Amino acid sequence: MTTPDDSLPDLGPAAMAVAALVDRVTPDQLDDPTPCPDYAVRNVLGHLSGLSLAFRDAALKNVGPTTDTDPGASLPDIGDDWRPVLAARLTELPAAWRSPGAWEGMTQAGGVTFPAADAGVVALNELVVHGWDLARATGQPYAPEPADLEVAYTMLSAAAESGEETGGMFGPPVPVGENASLLDQVIGLSGRDPGWTP
């Protein structure tokens, strides 16, 4: 395995944190509500599975059916084998981004062509934010790595300052207190209320 450049984000810790959350989801929680409007737990799991596959292929520059689909085109869901499939994808995703070449040039994800370096940051942000969605919906503790939160905060605050719509399940920023934790700031910037409960 290629050792990642120290200057590049490592998606491994965030993917492992999400995988641990996924492992503890029980069948009776699949239809429970989440902080994402219109998304039950099963839909967040489906989205995580789809984005893990898409951003893995984006890192590998395998542009095609997995990378050219708008994630908002349909409601994501899971199949009977969702647990091993998602576990595998959450292992493959960070592995693909550990090659410095993954961060070079252009790639595609979600039907959008953009610099690969930006795609890697978006993938990390997706893991951090949807990890929170899943943790909050299923009543699990969640403490992302500070470095991952810094990357997500930088990306989301830049988007908010520029007035960009972040698309997908990311809506307009929700104000948080000035003493809010970095996690709560990230969640607020992603369009979620950090105080959300089922």
Question: Is 132 within 8 Å of 187 (Cβ atoms)?
Answer: yes
Question: Is 115 within 8 Å of 141 (Cβ atoms)?
Answer: no
Rounded distance between C-alpha atoms, residue 187 and residue 173, angstroms: 8
State the pTM of this model: 0.93
Question: Is 23 within 8 Å of 68 (Cβ atoms)?
Answer: no
For 85-136, the pLDDT digits (tens) are 999 999 999 999 999 899 999 999 999 999 999 999 999 999 999 999 999 9
- pLDDT value at residue 171: 76
Report the Cα 67 to chain-centroid distance in Å: 15
pLDDT bracket for residue 165 (50, 70, 90): low
Of 103, 120, 110, 145, which is closest to residue 18 (Cα–Cα)? 145
Distances (CA, A) of 12 to 81, 171, 175: 23, 26, 30
Distances (CA, A) of 161 to 35, 122, 143: 23, 17, 26
- pLDDT value at residue 164: 60
